Structure formats: C-alpha cells, structure tokens
Amino acid sequence: MSIDINCIAVIGKRNDPLYIKNYSSSHPDLKYHYIAHTAIDVIEERVLNNQKLTDAYLGLLYAMEDLAVYGFMTNTRVKIIIVVAVTDNIIKDADIKAVFIKVHSAYVMHVCNPFHNLDQNFVASKRFANAVDQIGQQNAKATIDV
C-alpha cells in the first residue's frame, strides 16, 4: 500500500502555520500553503458538524485536482494536514492515520521541551524538522509496507 505524501503541514490553534514542508516536485511550495490554509475551513466545518467525533483523525478533507488533503486535529486544536497525490488506489484510513500519529508524536516531543513557549512564535527545532521530514520523505519516495 503506498501513500505518496506531497506535503505535511502543522497548523497552530490560531490557524497560523507552524511547519509546512513540501516533499514533491510537482507543485510549488505556495500551492501547498494555499491548500493547507483552505483545509482549515474543512476541518472547522467537519468538527463543528460532527460533535460526536472522538477521534483526532478527520479523514479525507477534500481532493483538489490531483491532490487529496487529509486532516487531523489534536485536543489543543493543533491541526496536522497531509497532502497526498491521488492515484487510482484506495487510501486506507489506517495507513494515513498511522502517518498522522507519527507526526503528532513528533510534535508532542517538540512541545514537551521545557524551553518551548506555546505562546510565542513556533520555532521548529532541528529534531522536530528531521522527524517530520523523515516521515515525509519516506512516504514520498515510494512505499511503506503495512
């Protein structure tokens, strides 16, 4: 089962971008910034309309052209967005959720740093960036066998 991750974005609770990284060569960074920004709408709508939603994983948010956008929102309203290239295959929720959980744990590791100030500008640490990039690049290259 392959997931072709094009972009991983972490968005703060005030809807400000914390970390956005493009792992594809098909589109410019700007496109993913726009996509991540527009995904906030869908996340807000989905959370509002499905109050019973207990899972942080929100599923497929929308598909635009050849890109599918998946969303995840933590309890602290930090949003994680993964943009995947649309192939003709079915993308399993479990697969994509596993990726989300990896990114989430990287984020948690990052904010657990006692010197990290949640109220100030997010500064991605090297370790966080490496962790996320590893997830992104691994999946961007080709496949993970589940």
Partner 1 sequence: MNTYPKEYVQHHVPVMAVYGLSEPKVDADLSKNDTQQPSTPDVDPVPVRRRSSTSSNHLRLRATIVHNLRALLTSRENITLWEAAKHTPASGGSYTSGIPNFRVNFVENDFSLPPKKPTSYQQPSMHPHSALSPLSNQSPLHPDGLVTPQWYEKHFNVYPSTVVGFYDLWDWSMEPGSPPRPKKEVGPLAGHSLADPVEKERDAAMAHGINERRKYFQERGLKFAVVVILNPRHADDPAIEDRLSLLRKLSGLESKNSLFVLPISTSTDATDFLNNLFKSLFESAQVYYNNQVKRVRKKLSRLPSPSVAMRQVTPQNIKETQPLSVPGWICRYEYKIGVFQEFGQDIQGSLKSYDVSYNMLLNMLQPNSGDGSMKFGTRRWKEAWTLADCMNIKICRAYLFQDNSQMALAQLNKHLHALQMFCNDWHIGERTFQYWAWLSKQYRIFAEQIDVATRHGFKPPVPLPNQGHSTSPPLNSSPFLGSGGHSSQADGGVNPGELLQHAGFYYHLAAMCSAERRRRYIEIEKMKTSEIKTEDPTYLIAMKILKEEEQIDHSALTIELLTKGYEQFKKHRNSRMTLYLAAEIAGTYYEAGKYDMALKFFERIGKTYRKEHWHTVLTSILRWSLRCAKELNMTASAIGYLIELLCDDLPMSEEKRIELQNDLEATLMEESDGEKENSEEPLVISMDEINSFLNCNVQFEKKSSYVNESIKFQVAITANKQSPPEAIVFQSLRVTFNNGKWNQIYFHNQDDIEKDDKYRYYNCSDSIYSKETNVWEANTDLQFRNSQIKIFEGKINADHTENLKLDSVILEMNSSSRPVHLTFNVANRVQDARSAGRRKWYLPDSPKPTFIDGRGELSSVDITQKPSRLAISTKHQSPALVDEHYPFSIILENQEATAVEAFVRVEIRTAENQDLGDTIKLKATDDDSDACGVLDINVGQIEANSSKEQPMYIIGRAIPMTRILNISVRYKASSSSNQEAYFEKQETAKINYHKPFEIKFQTYEQTKDCSKVAGFPPELKEKERLLVIAAIRCTSPWNLDVDSIEIEQNEQPSHANLHVRAMPKAPEDDKKVWKKDQVVNSNHLFELTIEDRTAPRSSVDFGALKITWRRVGGGHEQTPLCQTSIPFPPLSFSPSEIRIHRAHFAELQAQVEVSEAFVFSGYKQTKFRVLPFSSQKLRYHCHAILAGHVRLPRLKVDVTNSGEVSGTTDAVVYVKPRRQ
Which residues make up the interface to partner 1 (CB under 8 A)? 1, 14-17, 20, 29-30, 33-34, 37-38, 40-42, 45-46, 49-50, 53-55, 57-60, 62-65, 68, 84, 86-97, 119, 145-146
Q: How far apart are CA 122 and CA 63, in angstroms?
A: 28
CB of 112 to partner 1, least distance (A): 21
CB of 5 to partner 1, least distance (A): 13
CB of 43 to partner 1, least distance (A): 10
Counting beta carbons within 10 angstroms of the beta carbon of residue 49, is it exposed (0 to 12), middle (13 to 18) or buried (19 or more)?
A: exposed
Q: What is the 3-state secondary structure (H, E, C) of 41-59?
A: HHHHHHHHHCCCCCCCEEE
Nearer to partner 1, 49 or 109 (CB): 49
Nearer to partner 1, 42 or 138 (CB): 42
The dihedral built from the CA positions of residue 93, 85, 76 and 144, taken in this order, carries a sign that is: positive
Q: How far apart are CA 30 and CA 81, in angstroms?
A: 15
CB of 113 to partner 1, least distance (A): 19
Tokens of 31: 């496109």
